[in-house]
Amino acid sequence: MNRSEFIKTSALAGAAIATRPLITYAKQSTYRTALIGSGWWGTNILRCAIQAGQSKVIALCDVDQRQLTKASEEISKLTSDRPKLYRDYRELLAKEKPEVVIVATPDHWHPLIAIAAMEQGAHVYVEKPIGHTVNEGRAMVRTARQTGKVCQVGTHRRVSPHNISGMDFLKSGKAGKIGMVRAFVYYGGGPGQMVADEEAPKELDWNFYCGPAPLVPYNKTIHPRGFRNYLNFANGTLGDWGIHWMDQILWWSEEKYPKKIYSTGGRAIKRDNGDAPDHQVATFEFEDFTAVWEHRNFAGNTAEKTHPDQAVGVYFYGTEGTFHMGWLDGWTFYPASKNKPVIHQDAKLDKPDDQNIAALWTDFLDAINTKRTPICDIEIGHRSTNVSLLGMLSYKLGRSVAWDGEKEQILNDPEANKLLRRDYRGEWKYPV
C-alpha cells in the first residue's frame, strides 16, 4: 500500500470509529509534528498521526539510539517524511519549533517535556499518567492555560465506542443508584528473579534517561518498558493501569476528586528487581460513593476473568444491577431482577494493541483547528492521575489521607504534603 492509499484507508477507518456524531470537523491544516519518547506507545501514536494525514513528521527524539532507529525505520514505511533524529528534546524544540509534540517517555519525564513543548509554542499530546507527583500536574495545567495550547492526555478510553455507550447507560440511570465501584486488574505471574545491574549499552544515555529522577544503576529490566515497576520512574500498576479506570470513574460520577484515601499492599510474591507493589488495595471515599482499586500480579485464575484473556475493568454496583466496564470484552450489565435479560455490548478496538488512539487523535486535531478544549484535556487527565497518585501516596506513607481537592492539599498532615512533590536531580528544576 502506498502512502496516499494508506492515508485514505486509514481516514475511512477513522471515520468508521468516529464516535461523536455531533462534531463536524474543521478544515484541515498540516502540523509540524515531533515525537519525544520513541518507544512502544509513542510509535503507536505517531502511526495514528500519520494516518490522520495532518502531520508532517519533522523529528523523533529518544535517549536510546536503538529506539530511534527502530521508530524511524517503521515510520519510513508509512510516510515519505524524513524526520531529524534527536537525543535531547531541548535541542529538538529549539531547532525544529514543532507545532505538535507527542510525549511518550516514561512518566517521570512527562511534565518537564510537555511544559517545555507548550512554552516553545506546540500543542501537546501527553501520555498517561501525566506525571510522577501531584504538583507536576498542576504546573502542566497552568502552562496549558497560560500558553493557550491544546494539551490532550492519552486516556483513549474516553473515545472508545463501548466506553461511551456504557457511560450513557450508567448516566441514564439504567443501573439504578450506584453506591460502590470496584476497579481492578489481575495478572498471573510468579516471583520472577533478580537480574544483575550492568553497564548501560553505548547507544543509551542512561544519565539522561534517569533525568530528574535519582540516578540508579542501569538494569535491563527497567528499559524499555519495564520502568512501570520502578517507583523512581513510575507509580506501579495503579499509576500505569489504574489511571485508565480512575478516569472512567470520574467520567461516570462527574466528581472531581476523592475526599479520603487509604491504600495498602506490598510485594508478597515478587522477588525481581522492581519495587512496585505486586498486590494493592486502595479505597477512595467520594461524596456520593466509595471506589476500590485492587490489583494482583500473581495467582492468575479463570474464576476472576472477565474475558478469556484478561481480568480488568470497573464494576459499578447499582440498585438495578451490576455493570462491568471492560476492555476486550466491552461492557455487560447484570440486572438485579432475575426476570430481566443480561445486556452486553462488544468493544470496537483498533490494532495494534486494541486501542482507540486514532479517534483521540482526531479529537486532538479538531480541538487545535477549532480552538476548543479536547476530550481528554490536561485538567481532566490531571484529576484522574491525581486519584492514582494519591492512592500511591497513601501506600508509600502507610496511612490514610484526607484530600482538599480544591486547594490540592492534604489536610493536617505536613509529612504527607511533602509527597505531593519530589526533589529533582542535578540541573532539572521541579516545575511550578
Q: Is 36 in the site for ligand NAD (CB under 6 A)?
A: yes
Rule CB under 6 A: is residue 40 a binding residue for ligand NAD?
A: yes
| Choice between 166 and 212, CB closer to ligand NAD | 212
By CB under 6 A, tell whether 225 contacts ligand NAD.
Answer: yes
Q: What are the angstrom distances between the C-alpha of 251 and each of 304, 338, 400?
A: 25, 29, 24
CA-derived radius of gyration, the chain: 21
Grid cell locating 389: 497518585
User: Could you say whether residue 101 binds ligand NAD (CB under 6 A)?
Assistant: no
Neighbours of 157 (CB within 10 A): 23
Q: Rule CB under 6 A: say whether 274 interacts with ligand NAD.
A: no
Our finding on whether 105 is near ligand NAD (CB under 6 A) is yes
Q: Rounded distance, CA 275 to CA 266, Å?
A: 9
Residue 272 binds ligand NAD (CB under 6 A): no
Q: Which stretch binds ligand NAD (CB under 6 A): 8-16, 61-69, 141-149, 387-395?
A: 61-69
Rounded CA gap, 122 and 138, in Å? 19
Peptide bond into 201 cis (omega under 30): no
Determine the Cα–Cα distance for residues 20 and 16; give it in Å rounded to an integer. 11
Cβ-based nearer residue to ligand NAD, 309 or 404: 309
Per CB under 6 A, 236 contacts ligand NAD: no
DSSP letter, residue 269: S
**Binding-site string for ligand NAD from residue 166 to residue 205, where x marks contact by CB under 6 A and - marks none:** ----------------------------------------
Smallest gap, in angstroms, from Cβ of residue 86 to ligand NAD? 8
Helix, coil or strand: residue 158 = helix
- Contact between 233 and ligand NAD by CB under 6 A: the answer reads no
Strand residues in 328-426 grouped as ranges (E) = 331-335, 343-345, 401-404, 409-410
**Binding of ligand NAD by 362 (CB under 6 A):** no
CB 238 within 8 A of CB 282: yes
Q: How many CB atoms lie under 10 A from the CB of residue 364?
A: 29
Are the C-beta atoms of 347 and 160 separated by less than 8 Å? yes
Kindly tell me which of 38 and 306 has the beta carbon lying closer to ligand NAD.
Answer: 38
The verdict on 127 binding ligand NAD (CB under 6 A) reads: yes
**Residue 317 sits in the site that holds ligand NAD (CB under 6 A):** no
Does residue 64 belong to the site contacting ligand NAD (CB under 6 A)? yes
Question: Which cell is 294 given?
Answer: 485492587
Residue 366 interacts with ligand NAD (CB under 6 A)? no
User: Least distance to ligand NAD from the beta carbon of 63, Å?
Assistant: 4
Residue 128 is a binding residue for ligand NAD (CB under 6 A): yes
**Minimum CB–partner distance for residue 342 and ligand NAD (Å):** 28
Amino acid at 58: I
C-alpha cell at 428: 532539572
Q: Which stretch binds ligand NAD (CB under 6 A): 56-64, 322-330, 340-348, 389-397?
A: 56-64
Contact segment (CB under 6 A) with ligand NAD among 16-24, 38-46, 332-340, 341-349 equals: 38-46
Distance CA 253, CA 286 (A): 9
**Kind of pairing between the strands at 123-126 and 55-61:** unpaired
Q: Which is nearer to ligand NAD, 106 or 335 (CB)?
A: 106
Instruction: Give contact residues for ligand NAD (rule: CB under 6 A).
Output: 36-42, 61-64, 67, 89, 104-107, 109, 127-128, 154, 156, 208-209, 211, 223-225, 240, 355
